[in-house]
Structure 1
Amino acid sequence: MTLRIVAGTANQALARAVAAGLYTEPVSSVVERFPDSELRPVVDGVRGADVYLVQPTGPPVNEHVMELLLLLDGCRRAGAARITAVVPYFGYARQDRRGRAGEAIGMRVVADALASAGAQRLVVVDPHTVALEAVCAVPVEMLTAVPVLAGALAERARGDAIVVAPDLGAVKLAERYAALLSLPVALVRKTRLTGTSVVAGKLVGDVVGRQAIVVDDMISTGGTIEAAVELLLEDGAAPPVVVAATHGLFVEAAAKRLGGSRIQSLLVTDSLPQDASSALPLQICSTAPLLADAIARLHRDEPLGDLLIHT
């Protein structure tokens, strides 16, 4: 089968970079938009092909999810032999359990919809929860960008640095960074008040005089990172702080919260498109080589091994 890359509109620059890493170009595809906001994607040149559809589902999440579903169906109806959805950032991954009666489990709904639309395999990067694999009806390859980000952090980390998990959910992630950087780990215990408001309560670990490297899988409103940075500096960490996360959503007041001199560097990947004019101290680490390597191995039916998350 011939390998084909299809690019959604959510991150065309990443799709082109992935295709370039595979010495090809994305096939012709058009997403028409009707005046009432309906989408009508059209895909050409995929009949009999091994198709990899690149479309992260970041903001606006619902529009990008719907576009992904329609593109998958378009590839299937165009005669693709095998279809893999490459979703570097998987929206709705935070909705993995019910908090009260009558609440939907958004992650399961989206996973089922992708399989129903034609996805035969799903490739994601550092999903918010590894439970995604358990609820998805098709095979899920969970890649990790931690080595990519850790390589960039190694250039900034001082000998006294310490890796900090901004909440309990990020402890395993922090331990993976710490192992790659040969550094100790500290933990911030937080309390979430609302979807945008977070209070950091207690710090577990000695950060006095140390360079703090705060790591997380994603930054949305910046509330968790802001609270962690404030607590670290109050407890004696040496300013400024370094922050790293795979996915940078930066919605609402994130730029205001994370700007200024308290954060020296903010490392994120290109899983989502970033604003080059942002006032944030951003450093973008590309996931294109990681995704191209994974796609090449899948196309050749080779194991992914070292590219995957190991929990």
Structure 2
Amino acid sequence: MSLQIVAGTANRALADSVGEVLGNELAPVTVERFPDGELRPAVDGLQGADVYVVQPTGPPVNDHVVELLLLVDACRRAGAARITTVVPYFGYARQDRRGRAGQAIGVRVVAEALASAGTWHLIVVDPHAVALEAICAVGVEMLTAVPLLARELGAGLLGERVRDGAVVVAPDLGAVRLAEHYGALLSRPVAVVRKTRLSGTRVVAEELVGDVRDRPVVIVDDMISTGGTIEAAAEAVVRDGAAPEIVVAATHGLFVEAAVERLNRAGIGRVLVTDTLAQPATPAMPLGVCSVAPMLADAIGRLHRDEPLDDLLART
């Protein structure tokens, strides 16, 4: 089977980079947009191919999810032998349980829709729902960008700050294992913030467990959405006497609503994310972007050759 890469419109630059690493030109794709908002993708030249559809489902999440489903269906109808969806950022992953009776479990709905559309395999990067593999009816490869981000944190001038007595901070209890992973890679201790979420945008940090006084701090999380969690954590470490110019690292940078203003207001000296989601060429804050294209290309190449991905997988 030939290897073919199909790009959605959510992050074409990332798909181009993946294709360059693999030495593959992207398959021809057109996405017709109707005046009422409907989409109609079309693909060509996929008969009998091993197809990888690259499409993160970040904001606007619903548009990108529907486009991905239609792209998968188009590939199936074009005769693809097998289809792997490469979803670097998996929208709806935070909806992995009910908060009360009558709520939907969005991650299950999207996963089932992908399988129904024709997905044979799914590749994601640092998904918020660690149970995604158990939820999905198809095989899931959960990659992690933590080693990539940790290497960047430990390099150059930023690395000097990180190595100079820095503490890795989990902004909530859900990020403790992630912070421990960063801590192990950077050989740094870990502190934990206990938070209470008041709403989708408002978070209160109630307690910091660990010593950050006069020490550089690296706050880590899987994603930055509205910035509320990071802002609350930054306030907590400053209140406990941390050194100024806090560093933040996260795999996915959504930066929705007033996230940039929040991070600037919180005194964040540097934010480091990956390109699982498209980032602005001229960000309004000190932003560094690490590319996951080589990792995704490696994973795609191994799956195409039926080779294991063990050393690329996220810890769960």
TM-score (norm 2): 0.97
1:169 aligns with 2:189: no
**CA deviation after TM superposition for structure 1 residue 152, in Å:** 0.5
Contact 2:235–2:266 under 8 Å retained in 1: no
Query: How do residues 83-232 of structure 1 correspond to structure 2 at under 5 angstroms?
Result: 83-155=83-155, 156=158, 157-232=162-237
Where in structure 2 are there 5+ consecutive unaligned residues? none
Q: Which residue is 1:13 aligned to?
A: 13
Give the match's secondary structure for 2:261: helix
- AA of the residue aligned to 1:227: A
Q: Which residue is 2:277 aligned to?
A: 272
Give the match's secondary structure for 1:238: coil
- AA of the residue aligned to 2:231: E
Q: Which residue is 1:40 aligned to?
A: 40
**CA deviation after TM superposition for structure 1 residue 261, in Å:** 7.5
Contact 2:123–2:141 under 8 Å retained in 1: yes
- AA of the residue aligned to 2:63: E
Give the match's secondary structure for 2:245: strand
Contact 1:240–1:261 under 8 Å retained in 2: no
Where in structure 1 are there 5+ consecutive unaligned residues? none
**CA deviation after TM superposition for structure 1 residue 278, in Å:** 1.9
1:255 aligns with 2:260: yes
Contact 1:162–1:210 under 8 Å retained in 2: yes
How many residues are aligned here? 311
Give the match's secondary structure for 2:111: helix
Query: How do residues 291-310 of structure 1 correspond to structure 2 at under 5 angstroms?
Result: 291-310=296-315
**CA deviation after TM superposition for structure 1 residue 210, in Å:** 0.7
Aligned partners of 1:187, 1:279: CA distance in 2, in Å? 28
1:49 aligns with 2:46: no
**CA deviation after TM superposition for structure 1 residue 277, in Å:** 2.1
Give the match's secondary structure for 1:296: helix
TM-score (norm 1): 0.99
Q: What is the identity percentage for the equivalent residue pairs of Structure 1 and Structure 2?
A: 71
- AA of the residue aligned to 2:188: L
Contact 1:158–1:211 under 8 Å retained in 2: no
Deviation track 1:62-117 (CA, whole Å, cap 9, x = no partner) reads 00000000000000000000100000000000000011111000000000000000
Deviation track 1:244-268 (CA, whole Å, cap 9, x = no partner) reads 0000000000011012581111000
Displacement over 6 Å in runs of 4+: none
- AA of the residue aligned to 2:306: D
Deviation track 1:262-293 (CA, whole Å, cap 9, x = no partner) reads 11110000000011222111000000000000
Deviation track 1:171-203 (CA, whole Å, cap 9, x = no partner) reads 000000001000000000000000000000000
CA RMSD of aligned residues (A): 0.8
**CA deviation after TM superposition for structure 1 residue 129, in Å:** 1.7
